[in-house]
Structure formats: C-alpha cells, structure tokens
Chain A
C-alpha cells in the first residue's frame, strides 16, 4: 500500500503535476513483454493481507471504474464470475494487468510494480466464485 501511495501522489488531480507519460497507462494492449504467464508464480498466493490490499488498490487504481465495484462487471467484464477471456490462472491475470489486452484493457506495467500487480491478482483470485449459472429463469 505504501508503494501504491507513493505511485499515486505525483499524479493526483489536485497536484501540481498533471499526469505525464510516466503517470499514465499505456493506451493499447500489447504483446507479452515479460515472461510467459505459465512461468509466473504469485508470491502472495492465498495471502489474505495481500488480497485486502489488492481490494483497496482495485479502487485506488480505478479498476472499479470499468469492472465495477466488487469486480462484478460494468463497462468491462465481470472478474468475479469465475470466467476469464484470457485465462484465469494467477499468471494469466498478472499478464492481463501488466501488458493489457486488445479490446480495451490498458497495460499497467509501466505504472504498477510487479508486487502491486500480484496484490491485485491475489484479490481477484480471492473473490468467491459463484456457482455457474447457465440458466437464468423467471
């Protein structure tokens, strides 16, 4: 969290430094820049403290603006339904956040350290996956 706040301060809207290139997400999802997702290991896997910090980051990094409060989906897909466009392993989610995805998910790799991204991954993986609901009935 301390790291996150340090990141956030210089690009705050009330600050005297408007968001510059270092304080912005990359516009477009790009090809993998780092290791392959199946070789990535979440150092915080299953850690509740990390998940709680990740939940705060989900709001402070404006993830909730697209994916909705509680990650239940808004302009962008739900991340709490146990279903994933680009893979639901810790490594695949890490990669989605770091590198972005082509249909609008920005790349946060230049803005967020790997430690911060793992906290977000740990939060999302901590969300209780509802029973699959293939039928919606009235």
Chain B
C-alpha cells in the first residue's frame, strides 16, 4: 500500500500527466524535488560503516546507509556470534562499533568490554571495570540500567549508575578521567548516554521519582571538568536563560521556571534528563527532553511546572537556553518527555522545514520547527483520552477534565496511555530519508491513577500514585508502526502481544529491525511493514539494534538481549536470581514470564 503511494508521488516519468501535474501542483512539486534532492544528497555520502554514538548520527536517525541486507535476502540472516555480559539487569542502549572494535557497556556494575572484530571469535582487547557504589541500586527507580556510550576523540565516554562520568581510552581501556557529575544522596543516578559536541560532554540525571532538582551539565571532554550547569527549573540564572538569547515560540516572560510553580515546589520537582540528546551543527543547538515533575500527585505542585515534560534547545558551548516547549504542562499522568528528538528536513505546507520529531509518552507525535520550537504537527500515534487535541496556536493540549488526577480526585479510571507511555523514551525510534518515514515501537496500555499526598525525604522515593494497568483498545499491548511526521499519519502497523520496548534501526536496504519483550529480533520491509525474518535471542529485548560494516566488508546487525528496566519492576516474576524475592505475575501481563527471563547477551548477525 505504501509502496504504491510512494511510486505515485515520484516525478521521474515524463509525459502529459506529469506536465498537467506540474501545471496544477507546481509549488508542491518544487518542494518534492527539493526533498528528493536532499534525500539524494544524503544518500550520496557513503556510510562509514561505524556506529559511534547512540543514535548513529547527531540527528538521532538510527538510519544506516549500508544496503547489503534487503527484503530479498534478509531471510538468510543468521547469528554468527554471541557473548554473555555476565549481568542480568535490563540491557538498554546499544553497542558502539569504531575502528573494527565493538564497545559494550553493561548495566550496573557498568563493565565496558572492547571486542576485536578483526580476529576470529572476536576476543576481548580489554575490559574496564569501574568501582561503582552499590548503594546506587537503591536510588535507581527502574532497574540498574545503562543506555550506552559515546565515542569521541579516541575516548569512550559514559556514565556509571552512581553519578560518575568516565572517559576511557578506546585503544587501551585506560581510564582517562572519572568525575562525579551527579549527587547520589539526593536520589540522582546516571543511566543515560552522554552526547559529545566538540569539546563538551553533556550529561543529566535520573531521579524524577526521588524529588531531585533536575539539570544538564556540560563537562570538558579532555578533563571531565565541569564547565556549566543548567537547571531545568528555577530562576533564569539557574536555567541559563538570558534576555536576547532565549526566544521561545509560545511561552514568553522571565523566570518561567519559577513562576509556573507554587511554594518553591521546583526545588524538589524532578525534571530529570534520562533520555537521548540530538545536535544540529548548523544551528549549534543541542536538544533534549525533560522528564516528569514530582511528586506524581499534581495537587502538591500547582502551575505548569516548567520545564518538566519539555524539549529544551541549548547551546552546547555555554549551555544557554535558546528555546523551550512544554508538551504536557502541569503533568497529571507521569508523561515524561525524555524520548529522542529526531532531526529531519520535511516538506510541510509546501516548504521544506527543519524539524525535530518526538514521540511523547503522552501519546502525541510532535513535528516541531527546530529553529524556534513552533509545533507544526501534533497527532495521536496511539489511543489516548487525556486530551482531545493539541492547539497549534497556543501549543497546549486541550484537556479532558474527567482525566485530571490528584489526591482530592480519588481513583481516576482508565487513562490512556498509561504512564509507561504511548512509546517508552527508552525505545528510540528511527527515521529513513529514503522512505521519509519514522519507525516506532509503541505501547498500548491504559491505567487507573490514584494519587496521594507524599512527603519528600531526601534519598527516598517521592512518587505518590498507584497506577494499575490494563491493555488498551484492541487488547494487544504493543505495535511497531511507520509514521509520516509531515502529515501526522500512521502508514502501517504490526500488532504485538506485548508492549514493544526496543529501539529501532532502519537501513538503506529498506529493512527495519526491532525487538520484542518475549525475545524476538525481527526484520520487516521498511516500505510495506511486511515481516521478513525473526530470531529468538533468549531474553526480552529492551535495547536497540544497530548495523555496521565489519572488517571483511560485510554488513552485520548487533543487538542486546536482556529484559529489565521497568519490566523487572512490573513483572517481577521474570526475575530468577534472588531466592528471597518471590512475586506474583503482574495482573495485566500474567504470562510474560512464560516466554522470557533475565539474561544479558550480545548477539551479532550476518548473511
């Protein structure tokens, strides 16, 4: 269906029909031509075959220009190697491949492995074993996970769970620097993957469930020295908001990070940074999503609570805030906005726009002008009922008051999506400039929400809501979808029994890969959604597949197995490593443990 539509939109066949179309649709065709040229230019740059940063490129597309794997041959894909990481926690994130070496960061205790891809059996070149404070296990809300490393200037840079950031020599495994970037005793942990722009390493904390005061920090790549700290709430000086530099499209005024909170609740208001960061070199802007306000009981923090549940655009050099947009003001539902911001140039309204595309936990997919924060398209990509739509003139969601929560509201029934999100920020989507489609792992769960008053005690959870889940409309709990972000439309979907929680990679061979909680790595035709291949990797997939060119010139696909993250909390009967922790299956997903258990593995596949 999609292939037909795309063919119908090309203009390569001369003839009367095309000439008529040119006459009638000249502006649109001009834009299309520009887009095709842009796509051709993108494809003209040969892929270097490496995977040096979490999202493959600064635009976080998770698109690889490698094209050996195609819908015609991917059925012959076979595992060629696997390796147990020795760790049972949730294996989120992805390996890196640089200079014929694969780098793997494990969940706590955050071992870094370097595999030599030039040798038979891929033996280790070295492994680096940092000294990580085990008390961090008690400050991590949602399993002791890690989302990966970033390669820059001969260094592998990543975060340890206990609030330290390290740089390790990529050749030798020698620790170059190890600095404390977060305050564990405040409930700050650091599972996110840093981004490195020029000489700046940008990191942020988890802790939206511990009443932290969220921030992003810029460190010096050479030394780890702290260069700037930008709070995500509070005064303009704390948030690095300066007159003349800060130019938001919607929310104007001074000290918005203060005035949108009552009773100084911003001091313990959360606003964590645990997702993925993007960078536009032309605009010199780093984009990141901010997580939920705390506590979950919204009546303890009246106001919009800026800049929780927002996207912030900052200059990497000095951290200055250039624009911000809040997806879910005064969050009632734990709709963090930590999901990736994918940068693309799309034709919207007859012109090519520099946009970022974001699939929020709140169920809306946003296409935003990344130069200024104007929302161009905002449409639901999953079933949702907390809002009717997003008003593009104000940028605010139009709410359904029957879904408001709070300690005075009692138990509010059947809110969609659940606080797991219409898509988890964990599972980064991908964008193909060839199909101009976004490939997204989605979750179809709804929840009841019973909020209660909570007191913050430093270093303990600051949550205050009970939120049981049920499967959403249709009964399936997840789907893998293709999304047209220029129009805000779903092109196709593959329904899955369980929530889809993996990242995605899409290739120039028009194959997309994703994984499932019951442990299948799957390949589909990126144009049609036709399932092509699958392989059971032994444990549920919550990481992100990657693809790279090996030293033999062949295209490989790699992925982690290792269920965990939220699923180690929600479906505690998956765990088999603690005889003193026996739990019943979760009501909404009683049989997941029938198909998977813990187990951290690295898998590599090739034809």
Residues of A within 8 A of B (CB): 8, 11-14, 16, 18-19, 23-29, 59-66, 69, 72-78, 81, 83-85, 100, 102-106, 111, 132-133, 136, 138
In the complex, the answer to whether A12 meets B583 with C-beta atoms within 8 Å is: no
A18 to B186, CA, bound (A): 12
CB distance A14 to B572 under 8 Å?
A: no
Cα A77 to Cα B578 in complex, Å, equals 9
Bound CA–CA A24/B462 (angstroms): 13
Q: Does B119 make an interface contact (CB < 8 A)?
A: no
* Interchain Cβ contacts under 8 Å between A and B, 28 examples: A8-B455, A12-B455, A13-B265, A13-B295, A13-B456, A23-B458, A24-B185, A24-B459, A25-B459, A26-B459, A27-B135, A27-B184, A29-B135, A60-B455, A61-B457, A62-B455, A63-B460, A64-B461, A65-B462, A66-B460, A69-B466, A72-B583, A78-B582, A81-B582, A104-B139, A104-B140, A106-B138, A136-B593
Q: Decide if A85 touches B138 in the complex (CB within 8 Å).
A: no
Shortest C-beta distance, A137 to chain B (Å), equals 9
B4 in the interface (beta carbon within 8 A) = no
Contacting pair B458 A25 (CB below 8 A): yes
User: Is there contact, CB below 8 Å, between A75 and B455?
Assistant: no
| With A13-B265, A62-B460: A77-B581 Cβ-Cβ less than 8 Å | yes
- The minimal Cβ–Cβ distance linking B134 to chain A, given in whole angstroms, is 5
Find B134's partner among A59, A65, A77, A103 (CB 8 Å cutoff).
A103
Q: Are B461 and A78 in contact (CB under 8 A)?
A: no
Residues of B within 8 A of A111 (CB): 457
List of B residues within 8 angstroms of A76 by Cβ: 138
- Taking Cβ atoms with an 8 Å cutoff, the residues of B that contact A are 133-143, 184-185, 209, 211, 263-265, 267-268, 295, 300, 452, 454-463, 466, 569, 572-573, 578-585, 591, 593-594
B185 cross-chain contacts in A, Cβ below 8 A: 24, 27
Q: Known contacts being A14-B300, A81-B581, is A27 close to B572, with CB within 8 Å?
A: no
Task: Please determine whether A24 and B580 come into contact, CB atoms closer than 8 angstroms.
Answer: no
Bound-state Cα–Cα, A69 to B264, Å:
29
- Docked-complex contact B135 and A102, CB < 8 angstroms: yes
- Find out whether the CB atom of A65 lies under 8 angstroms from the CB atom of B579: no
Q: Is the CB of B583 within 8 A of A73?
A: yes
Interface centre among A13, A29, A59, A64 (most CB of B within 10 A): A13
Given A83-B579, A83-B582, A104-B462 contact (CB < 8 Å): no
The smallest beta-carbon distance between A1 and chain B, in angstroms, is 14
Of chain A, the residue at the smallest CB distance from B456 is A13
Contacting pair A72 B569 (CB below 8 A): no
Measured between beta carbons, the chain A residues less than 8 angstroms from B456 are: 11-13, 19
B260 CB to closest chain A CB, in angstroms?
16
Q: Shortest distance in angstroms between A70's beta carbon and chain B's nearest beta carbon?
A: 10
What A residues does B462 contact at CB under 8 A? 13, 62, 65
Main secondary structure of the interface of B (DSSP, over half): loop
Contact assessment for B583 and A78 in the assembled complex, using a CB-CB cutoff below 8 Å: yes
Task: Tell whether, in the assembled complex, residue A25 and residue B460 are in contact, meaning their CB atoms are under 8 Å apart.
Answer: yes
Extra contacts, 9 of them, besides A83-B582, A104-B137 (Cβ < 8 A), are A8-B457, A14-B263, A24-B185, A27-B185, A62-B454, A65-B460, A66-B138, A75-B141, A103-B138
Q: How far is the CA of A133 from the CA of B133 in the complex (A)?
A: 33
Residues in chain B near residue A12, CB distance under 8 A: 455-456
Residue of B nearest to A66 (CB): B461
Which of A16, A26, A28, A75 is most buried by chain B, counting CB atoms within 10 A of its CB? A75
**Distance of A85 Cα from B136 Cα, bound (Å):** 18
Find chain B residues with CB under 8 A from A105 CB. Answer: 138
Partner pick for A65 among B184, B209, B585, CB 8 A cutoff: B209
Q: How far is the CA of A19 from the CA of B185 in the complex (A)?
A: 11
Are B458 and A24 interface neighbours, CB within 8 A? yes
Contact check, B594 vs A138: say whether CB atoms are below 8 A apart.
yes
Given B455, B573, B584, which contacts A11 in the complex, CB threshold below 8 Å?
A: B455
- Tell me the complex Cα distance, A73–B594, Å: 20
Which of A59, A65, A133 interacts with B582 by CB under 8 Å? A133
- Residues from chain A with a CB closer than 8 A to the CB of B143 are 75
A11 to B457, CA, bound (A): 7
On chain A, the residues within 8 Å of B458 by CB distance are: 11, 19, 23-25
Question: What residues of B have a CB within 8 angstroms of the CB of A25 in the complex?
Answer: 457-460
Cβ distance B69 to chain A, nearest Cβ, rounded Å: 36
A109 to B34 Cα, complex, angstroms: 67
Task: Enumerate chain B residues within 8 angstroms of A85, measured Cβ to Cβ.
Answer: 578, 580-581
Contacts of B184 in A (CB 8 A): 27
The complex places the Cα of A130 from the Cα of B139 at a distance, in Å, of 29
Q: Is the CB of A73 within 8 A of B581?
A: yes
Chain A residues within an 8 Å CB radius of B581: 73, 77-78, 81, 83, 85
User: A75 touching B140 by the CB < 8 A rule?
Assistant: yes
Closest-by-CB residue of B relative to A13 is B456
Q: Which of B184, B455, B584, B594 has the most CB of A within 10 A?
A: B455
Closest to A75 in B: B569
CB of B135 within 8 A of CB of A77, answer no
Chain B residues near A64 (CB, 8 Å)?
Answer: 461
Once bound together, how far apart are the Cα atoms of A106 and B136, in whole Å? Answer: 10
A122 CB to nearest B CB, Å: 20
**Which of B211, B460, B463, B579 lies in contact with A61, CB distance below 8 A?**
B460
Interchain nearest-CB distance for B539 vs A (Å)? 17
Provide the residues of chain A in CB contact with B137, threshold 8 Å.
103-104
Please indicate the chain A residues that have their CB under 8 angstroms from the CB of B211 in the complex: 13
Residue of A with least CB distance to B133: A28
CA distance A100 to B458 in the complex (A): 15
How far is A5 from B301 in the complex, measured between Cα atoms in Å? Answer: 21
Distance of A55 from chain B, by nearest CB (Å): 14
B residues near A81, Cβ cutoff 8 Å = 580-583
In the assembled complex, the Cα of A102 lies from the Cα of B583 at a distance in Å of: 22
CA distance A64 to B511 in the complex (A): 44
- By a CB distance below 8 angstroms, the chain B residues around A18 are 267-268
Q: How far is the CA of A18 from the CA of B582 in the complex (A)?
A: 37
Q: Is the CB of B142 within 8 A of A75?
A: yes
Provide the residues of chain A in CB contact with B455, threshold 8 Å: 8, 11-13, 60, 62
In the bound complex, what is the Cα–Cα distance between A61 and B458 (angstroms)?
Answer: 11
Q: Are A73 and B138 in contact (CB under 8 A)?
A: no
Which single residue of chain A is at the shortest CB-CB distance from B582?
A81
Interchain nearest-CB distance for B218 vs A (Å):
26
A31 CB, min distance to chain B CBs, angstroms:
14
A14 and B452 alpha carbons, distance in the complex (Å): 15
> Which A residue sits closest to B185, measured CB to CB?
A27
Quote the shortest CB–CB distance from B527 to chain A (angstroms): 38
- Give min CB distance, A117 to chain B, whole Å: 15
Question: Which single residue of chain B is at the shortest CB-CB distance from A11?
Answer: B457
Given contacts A19-B456, A24-B457, contact A74 B579 (CB under 8 A): no
